[in-house]
Structure 1
Amino acid sequence: MSDDLFSFSSSSPSSSTTPLVSGKPMAPEEEESVFSLRPGSFSDYVGQRETVETLQIAIEAAKKREEPIEHVLFHGPPGLGKTTLAHIIANEMGGELTITSGPALEKGGDLVGLLTNLQQGDILFIDEIHRIPKAVEEFLYPAMEDFSIDIVFDKGVHARSHRFRLNRFILIGATTRIGLLSAPLRDRFGMFRTLDFYDTEDLIRIARRSAALLNTPLTPEGARALALRSRGTPRILNRLLKRVRDYADVRADGVLTDEVVEKALALEGVDCLGLTNLDRAFLKTIIDYYRGGPVGIEAIAATLQEETDTLVDVVEPYLLKIGFLARTSSGRKVSQDASRHLGYAVQGRLF
């Protein structure tokens, strides 16, 4: 094989049919597939250098003191590595990792059951932690501060409270909407890190590593083409890689070149900047129906017949990042660059 190709032997997980860009939790089969590509240590982790260094220092210091690290809160758009970092922290600390999500904790008993089963040094990871019901959230306050929970028996004049001691555990929270997290809960985290979109060079490294694990030959040009279309997000890059791999196996010779990447992703509706059909529909709606804006997000969602949360959490962060969209006090506005990219004549109202 040519030295220009990156290819190594490994088992190949099955391809996923999950949408390329999604704000919904991953299905179990996709979670298993992604796990096979997920780095298990900081040495294999690419990007987020300041966050990684901060965590490494905290973990090394905690090991010297023979105690768990402080509770950690990760904030950032979906797919940037919040769950991966939780797995790595568990591996580095030698504790068991328990994963749940805010919407899954409907009653206080759901959370109490998880907390009472944690052993010394175990990690509880709560995704979408901002969506925990208020009544359930209040159980976390004493658990995070004093490693105990107060359980009330009976009601009325016969009510009595019992404090149950917990093993010292580490809570890792992840959220895409930090503004929706209550101040009492946010203030109980010892470490707060914001994850940002990845640059092209880091994404190329991730593409090479994932292609190696998938036993898929990838040229340097193909790796860069994938990186440029992955919206700065490793999860999306891995999804694109699997779609292109399928295309290469059927329509090409199995090698992922830049030409193969371009043709494969054109079928998926992904353009040279990583914009999907939903991204383009979002921008075109503002231009066609609202003269480039400003317009409220509820109006855009109603026109597109999409959930507002999907647009805010999944579509908007990347468009804001590349300067195609602006949020103002009066609503969303489309930029001149976005208008040019979509083939519109630049309008005076666009910024």
Structure 2
Amino acid sequence: MSETKANDVQDFTPTSLRHLIGNDHVRQQVQVALDAAFEDQVRFCDCLLTGPPGMGKSSLANVIAHELATALHETLGQSISGPAELNALLLNAKDGELIHIDEVHELATEQQTALFICLDQRKLLVTNQKGALSIPLANFSLLLSTTDPHKVLSPLRDRMKMTLELAYLTADELTEVVHQRGRALGWSLGVGVTSEIAIRGRGTPRIALRILQSARRVSRSEGESEITLAHLRRACELDRIDNLGLTNQEQKYLELLGEGPTRLNVLASCLGMPSKTVSEVIEPFLIRSGVVIKDNGGRRTLTKSGMDHLSDLRMNQV
């Protein structure tokens, strides 16, 4: 690998199921589906890929294409603004190839409806001045990725033969992800770097790899070839990420709760952001990690671990 290609964590992407770490149940589902497709000499089954952001849904789609040794046609749901874009996507795919629509929940209702009708009939109905024209579609496979499956129309969801549900990784799995990426890029990682990144990675490969990239940036700014714990901690200091992986806004949220149970609208007002942003962006990880709980009255309260973490934050600020 050239020096130029070793500058970014995205310069390496998995190409085999053996490269994927965590979510063993999903890997087994895909392996069985691949084996069945090869045995029966049929196309890969249509799949719905779900899970939180940054879990590797696009990487999984890429791996499936590599395992099948076939072309992958990728686009974002919000990029398909009308029938012309959808028609072009469907018509470009050949037999046995894959179409991957990421963030399919952003696809307009009309286009989602057109999509499941096309799947049913395996043809495209195009209306022009001379009337309706029926165009046969190739025998491609469809992969749909989403973080919000409830926003995908039920008829479209139901036509997916398999659902692949990606979940958060454990700290050990995330350590392995960071180690694998660093090794593939030829980066030298000091003792303890991978495990400390994993602690801050919130169970999400994308976040862990972003921290790794930040640590390498600090290392290279000092002319060093090895990424050390000192580089990592300096990177986190610059990005204002604490030792639990909390962002600056999340830390401010904890400070507010340090005064006692507080309602969402009060927290949002103090943070200067809409309540929906607080509940959908700031709170999810804090609640998932057991730092914050909500009572029946909707008030937010620090747990014992949350109070301990806040104490640590305050001590570090002294």
TM-score range, shorter chain: 0.7 to 0.9
Structure 2 unmatched ranges of 5 or more: 313-318
Query: What corresponds to 1:199 in structure 2?
Result: 170
Q: How far apart, CA to CA, are the structure 2 residues paired with 1:128 and 1:307? A: 24
Q: 1:300–1:74: structure 2 CA closer, same or farther, 3 Å change rule?
A: farther
Check whether the contact 1:198–1:232 (CA below 8 A) recurs between aligned residues: yes
Structure 1 segment 136-285 matched on structure 2, within 5 A: 136-154=111-129, 160-251=131-222, 253-284=224-255
Query: Percentage identity across aligned positions?
Result: 26
Residues 129, 173 of structure 1: 8 Å contact kept: yes
Residues 1:341 and 2:309 are matched in the alignment:
yes
Q: In 2, are the aligned partners of 1:78 and 1:314 still within 8 Å (CA)?
A: no
Alignment partners' CA distance in 2, 1:303 and 1:126: 39
- Cα distance change, pair 231–247 in 1 and its aligned pair in 2 (3 A): same
Cα distance change on mapping 1:187 and 1:302 into 2, 3 Å: farther
User: By how many angstroms is 1:90 displaced?
Assistant: 0.7
Are the counterparts in 2 of residues 225 and 262 from structure 1 also a CA contact under 8 Å?
Answer: no
CA offsets 1:192-243 (integer angstroms, 9 cap, x no match): 1221111111111111121123322113411111111111111111111111
Structure 1 pair 13/96, CA: closer, same or farther in 2 (3 Å)? same
For residue 285 of structure 2, what is the aligned residue in structure 1? 318
* Paired residue secondary structure (1:342): helix
CA contact (8 A) 1:301 1:308 kept: yes
Q: 1:71 to 1:150 in 2, by over 3 A?
A: same
Amino acid at match of 1:57: V
The answer to which of 258-267 and 95-104 deviates more is: 258-267
Q: Which residue of 2 aligns with 1:26?
A: none
Cα distance, 1:319–1:39 mapped onto 2, change above 3 Å = same
CA contact (8 A) 1:10 1:212 kept: no
> CA separation of 1:165/1:186 partners in 2, compared to 1, >3 Å: closer, same or farther?
same
Residue 70 of structure 2 corresponds to residue 95 of structure 1: yes
Letter paired with 1:83: S
RMSD of aligned residue pairs (Cα, Å): 2.7
Report the residue type matching 2:41 in the other structure.
E
**Using the alignment, how far apart are the partners of 2:122 and 2:64 within structure 1?**
20
**Aligned 8 A contact 2:11 2:185 in 1:** no
Greater RCO (Cα-Cα under 8 Å, separation 6 or more): 1
TM-score between both structures, scaled by the size of structure 1: 0.79
Equivalent in the alignment of 1:62: 37
Task: Say if 2:264 and 2:275, in contact at 8 Å, map to a contact too.
Answer: no
Structure-1 separation of matches of 2:79 and 2:9: 21
Deviations 1:233-269 (A, max 9, x none): 1111111111111212334843223343223312211
Higher helix share: 2
- Does the CA-based 8 Å contact 1:244-1:261 persist in structure 2? yes
| Partner AA of 1:292 in structure 2 | P
C-alpha distance after superposition, 1:14-56 (max 9, x if no partner) = 76xxxxxxxxxxxxxxxxx454221111111111111011001
Q: 1:295 to 1:69 in 2, by over 3 A?
A: same
The answer as to whether partners of 1:176 and 1:313 remain within 8 angstroms in 2 is no
Contact 2:257 2:302 in 1 (8 A): no
Identify unmatched segments of 5+ residues in structure 1.
1-8, 16-32, 345-351
